[in-house]
Amino acid sequence: MFSPSSLVSRRRGEGHAPLLLAAALVMAVPGFLVTACGSQPGTGAARSEPTQTTPTTATAGGLVADAGQAPATGRRLSSSARALRLLSQAAQAAISMSYQGQEVVTRWSNGSGSVLVSDIWHVSGGQTVTQTLAAGNSLSSQPYLSSDDDSQAPEGVLGVTVPLIGLLENHYTVVYSGTGSADSRTAQVVEARRDDGSLAARFWLDDATSLPLEREVFDSASHVISQDVFIQVRFSSQAHPAVPAAPARGPSDPPGPWADPLSHTQLLALPAQGWLVPAGLPGGLSLFTGARTTTSTGTVLDLGYSDGLSVVSVFEQRGHLAAKLDGWQRTTVNGQVIYVAEPDQRSLTWSSRGMVYTVMADAPVQTVDAVIGVLPHDKPPGFWKRMSRGFVRLASWVNPFG
């Protein structure tokens, strides 16, 4: 069927208290706080608004999508204990149950959409394997195979993990919306609403197992920006998951996997080591995880930010961008020159002050633009500085002893 092309194994610890971590960073490293945190996200001149409108989904059973129709109360409503319990059970079920199925991930951005299909196998408390097709059919490209050894933060669970549930509770009002259906199964429906009452996300959780079956995420303009559906789900009681064998690591694989998540102490020590570690980013995104790995060009630090729905990973690596970036396209965001990876368009990179920043985001375009805006960028040199630098370079070119 598929020929696995790569295997990436990594371990992740149990979800830690992200709010405590954020609070500790606020107290300990105020110099690294992003001052624009919590401000209104900016808009990028080179990027457009998503245009997909809120659908009335048939998979939601008797529910009718009403994103943005809730009255704006101006006061934060309290989350439903039942809703929080359902989400917590869903996160645990994603770890403790054995299941397999197919996940269809759809993203809308810049007025167009893209879809990705992945086969997922998970063994209770153990390994998770995702086998991804780039374009939703088996003929389009090579598959991707990953393996999560301890399954503490399994992939393919529609963003329902313990750390993200904690952040979701803090940033949104989580309410129970009744029952619906997804993948021809009865589901409990939970919604996340913003302070103004508008719908931010909707989850369909399997009534029998609590496993997440579907998730929709909306931007502040009530446009759906992502839809994840888990279909053809089979549980261990129906069929034991036949997890594909993991291929041996090749010489081209990364030298080492991403290490265990950094502890609070390790995160607090990063600024002293020259890393930029904002405690928060625009859009209400809080730092909740961090990890390190080593590549052929040095150590890479990953900082994970989220509000429970949107997730932004900021990768930092010391050095400078290569002069020629294959697969990257030069663009401008907020007046800053950056490079966007093709074809996913969700990865953005630039270098500043001896550090290469790469942002990967599952977030509204406005939020991503605002995040880019608050991270460091090199200012273009002034006229006289540029002339001076140019004369020095010209002199060095004609200097036979240079």
Binding window for other proteins (CB under 8 A); candidates: 36-44, 72-80, 176-184, 380-388:
380-388
Task: Characterize 176-206 residue by residue with b for buried, 16 or more Cβ atoms within 10 angstroms of its Cβ, and e for exposed.
Answer: bbeebbbbebebbbbbbbbeebbbbbbbbbb
Please give the biggest Cα pair distance in the chain.
Answer: 80
Would you give the end-to-end CA distance of the chain in angstroms?
A: 59
- As measured in angstroms, the least distance from the Cβ of 139 to other proteins is 12
Element (H, E) at 191: strand 185-193
- As measured in angstroms, the least distance from the Cβ of 360 to other proteins is 4
Residue number, 300 or 374, with CB nearest to other proteins: 300
- As measured in angstroms, the least distance from the Cβ of 28 to other proteins is 22
Residue number, 153 or 199, with CB nearest to other proteins: 153
Among 208, 297, 332, 335, binds other proteins (CB under 8 A): 297
* 70-75 long-range Cβ contacts below 8 angstroms, 24+ apart: 70/193, 70/197, 70/198, 70/199, 71/197, 72/196, 72/197, 72/198, 73/196, 73/197, 74/195, 74/196, 75/195
- As measured in angstroms, the least distance from the Cβ of 260 to other proteins is 11
Q: Which ranges constitute the DSSP H helices of 68-200?
A: 81-96, 162-171
Q: Does 337 bind other proteins (CB under 8 A)?
A: no
- As measured in angstroms, the least distance from the Cβ of 180 to other proteins is 21
- Distance, in Å, from the CA atom of 164 to the CA atom of 192, rounded to the nearest integer, reads 12
Closest-CA residue to 313 (of 292, 334, 342): 292
DSSP assignment of 30-72 = GGG--TTTTSPP---TT-----PPPP--GGGTT----TT-S--
Q: Does 122 bind other proteins (CB under 8 A)?
A: no
Phi, psi of 10 (to 5 degrees): -160, 155
Q: Which two tokens stand for residue 315?
A: 């990768």
Among 20, 23, 72, 135, binds other proteins (CB under 8 A): 135
Q: Per CB under 8 A, which of residues 82..111 are in contact with other proteins?
A: 94, 103, 105-108
Q: Per CB under 8 A, which of residues 28..67 are in contact with other proteins?
A: none
Among 164, 189, 211, 270, binds other proteins (CB under 8 A): 164
Strand 144-148 relative to strand 7-10: parallel, antiparallel, unpaired?
parallel
Q: Per CB under 8 A, which of residues 197..216 are in contact with other proteins?
A: none
Among 77, 116, 231, 268, binds other proteins (CB under 8 A): 116
Residue number, 14 or 342, with CB nearest to other proteins: 342
Bridge partners of residue 280, in order along the sequence:
286
Among 289, 336, 366, 367, binds other proteins (CB under 8 A): 289
DSSP 135: S
Among 234, 320, 330, 335, binds other proteins (CB under 8 A): 320
Binding window for other proteins (CB under 8 A); candidates: 8-16, 19-27, 231-239, 274-282:
8-16
Among 155, 216, 219, 307, binds other proteins (CB under 8 A): 155
Torsion on CA atoms 309, 315, 321, 325, rounded to nearest 10: -50
Among 23, 46, 72, 325, binds other proteins (CB under 8 A): 325
Q: Does 317 bind other proteins (CB under 8 A)?
A: yes
- As measured in angstroms, the least distance from the Cβ of 70 to other proteins is 26
Q: Does 369 bind other proteins (CB under 8 A)?
A: no
Among 360, 370, 372, 375, binds other proteins (CB under 8 A): 360
Strand 298-306 relative to strand 347-352: parallel, antiparallel, unpaired?
unpaired
Q: Does 6 bind other proteins (CB under 8 A)?
A: yes
Q: Does 148 bind other proteins (CB under 8 A)?
A: yes
- Distance, in Å, from the CA atom of 60 to the CA atom of 189, rounded to the nearest integer, reads 8
Q: Per CB under 8 A, which of residues 254..283 are in contact with other proteins?
A: 254, 258
